[in-house]
Amino acid sequence: MPRPGVAIMDSPAFFTLRVVVLGPPAGVTWALQIGRDALEGPVATARGRITFTTQVRVAKLAGKAMPRLLGVAVQGPPDRRFLYLNSGVRAGQVATCWDRGL
């Protein structure tokens, strides 16, 4: 059930967002933030790159021209949505000096 003021489009558009971190520091854990406190690890790691994916839905805000992105990993106010990547301590790595969110 949509929240007040959010009208879902006639044909909701779902798509996959893929974020690739190129050249991450060696030995540092990375995670995609889900909601306020949960973390999701990468779907793929390879030498020099870490990949995250998440499903996103598009909704139309009542009275607004711009659509709104919705999904478990989508953060921020309706008109400035973003994904949040955590690294080091914020990604659950205990013994590290790294403690960043992007």
Which tens digit of pLDDT belongs to each residue from 29-73?
Answer: 899 999 988 999 889 888 899 999 999 998 876 777 778 889 999
Rounded to whole angstroms, how far apart are CA atoms 32 and 40? 5
Cα-trace Rg, the chain: 16
Per-residue pLDDT at 45: 86
- Sequence spans of domains, the chain: 6-101
Strand partners, 38: 34
pLDDT value of position 6: 55
Residue 62: is it exposed, middle or buried by C-beta count within 10 angstroms (0-12/13-18/19+)? exposed
Instruction: Enter the pTM of the model.
Output: 0.77
